Structure 1
Amino acid sequence: MQYEFPEVLNDLIDYFLLGDLRRLQRFKDEQRLGDDLAAEFISNDSGDRAVLEGVLIPLAGVENHPYTVLFTLDDTEPELLKPSSRLQHRRDGYVLQVESGRVHLFTWRILQDFTPVEVEDLLQRYADPAQGRPTIEVANGWYEVRVLAGEIEREGSLQPAFEFVLSLREGPLQVQGVDINYRFAVQWE
């Protein structure tokens, strides 16, 4: 199965994050982190811990383009691996723990005011299909995640895209060989 979201923007900050927002809220509470998670993540090792514990996946270096975002479950051929696409980045080794039955792609700005009220408001916006926010419903559990980035053919031309290939596994899982600071800059021609 595959889910596609067109015209996804990065809020003018070169970052996307992938994760279960409720799991991230629990991580914040367990670690006793402040409401400005962005500041926490850049001032101590809590961001690295969140990645290593499967709470979120950071995507740095995201250029300011409108992206097509795809979520592909492991029984479907990834769009960015098809001959009509132009794959630029392929990173394996990520893991993600899902506790609320949803995976969300969100921007760095979300972390700057990560209060329970703001998280609930954000989850309501994500739940509204009319807003077209990049989120999918999945079974709770541990996922291996492959991140693909590049260009896919849409409407007769190549468009910048991110694709997340999720494979449900027995957990808990360990992150393997991931460069947390890897830059996913997509060159769009």
Structure 2
Amino acid sequence: MRHEFSEVLNDLVDYFLLGDIQLLERFKQDHALPDDLAYAFTHNDSGDQAVREGVVLPVAGVENLPYHILFTLEGETPALRMPGSRLKHQRDGYVVRVEHGALMLYTWRILQHFTAKTLGDLIARYQAPGRPMIEVANGWYGVEVLAGALVRDGLYEPAFEFVLTRRWSRGEATTVDTRYSFSLRGYFD
């Protein structure tokens, strides 16, 4: 099964983040982190710990463009590996943990003022159709991140695809390069 969302923007910050956002709230509380998670994640090892533990999956180097976002579940051929697509980046070794039945792609800005109110507002906004959030069973998932260009309406458009494989045991993203740049500048023109 594949879920596709179009016209997804990055809020002028070169990051997308993927994860169970309610799990991120619990991670914040468990580690007594401040409301400015962006500061905490960039000034101590809590961000790396969140990645290792599958709380958040960072995608860096995202230019300010509208993107197609795809979530592809195991058993389905990734769209960026199909004929006619242009695959530029493929990175494996990520894990995400789901405890609230949903995975959400969100932007770095939410981390800058991560309070119960802003989290509630974000979850409410994501109930509207077309928001990059999917329902999945709780548990652990291995994630491969693909980036490139897909043909849509006769034109190449930038895309990120998250290929999710259900894991039956806990995972750790210990080999992930969190600073890897998924830049697509000029690749889909």
Aligned CA distance change for structure 1 residues 34 and 176 (closer, same or farther; 3 Å): closer
> Quick one: distance in 2 between partners of 1:17 and 1:168?
19
Partner SS for 2:117: helix
Gaps of 5+ in 1: none
Q: Which residue of 1 aligns with 2:26?
A: 26
> Quick one: distance in 2 between partners of 1:118 and 1:15?
19
The one-letter amino acid paired with 1:135 is: M
Q: Which residue of 1 aligns with 2:80?
A: 80
Matched residue count: 187
Q: Deviation digits for residues 13-40 of structure 1, max 9, x if unmatched? A: 1110000100100100001000010011
Q: Which residue of 1 aligns with 2:113?
A: 113
- Choose from 124, 131, 139 the match for 2:137: 139
Gaps of 5+ in 2: none
Task: For residue 93 of structure 1, report the CA deviation from its aligned partner.
Answer: 0.2
Q: Which residue of 2 aligns with 1:61?
A: 61
The one-letter amino acid paired with 1:167 is: T
Q: Deviation digits for residues 99-141 of structure 1, max 9, x if unmatched? A: 1000000000010111011111111111222xx2100000000
**Over 6 Å off, 4+ runs:** none
- How well do the aligned residues superpose, as a CA RMSD in angstroms? 0.8
Q: Which residue of 2 aligns with 1:17?
A: 17
For residues 1-189 of structure 1, the aligned pairs below 5 Å read 1-129=1-129, 132-186=130-184, 187-189=187-189
Task: For residue 65 of structure 1, report the CA deviation from its aligned partner.
Answer: 1.0
Q: Percent identity?
A: 57
> Quick one: distance in 1 between partners of 2:42 and 2:167?
30
Task: For residue 176 of structure 1, report the CA deviation from its aligned partner.
Answer: 4.5
The one-letter amino acid paired with 1:161 is: A
Given the two structures, how large is their TM-score scaled by the length of structure 2? 0.97
Which has a greater percent of helix?
A: 1
Q: Deviation digits for residues 131-171 of structure 1, max 9, x if unmatched? A: x2100000000000000000011111110000000111112
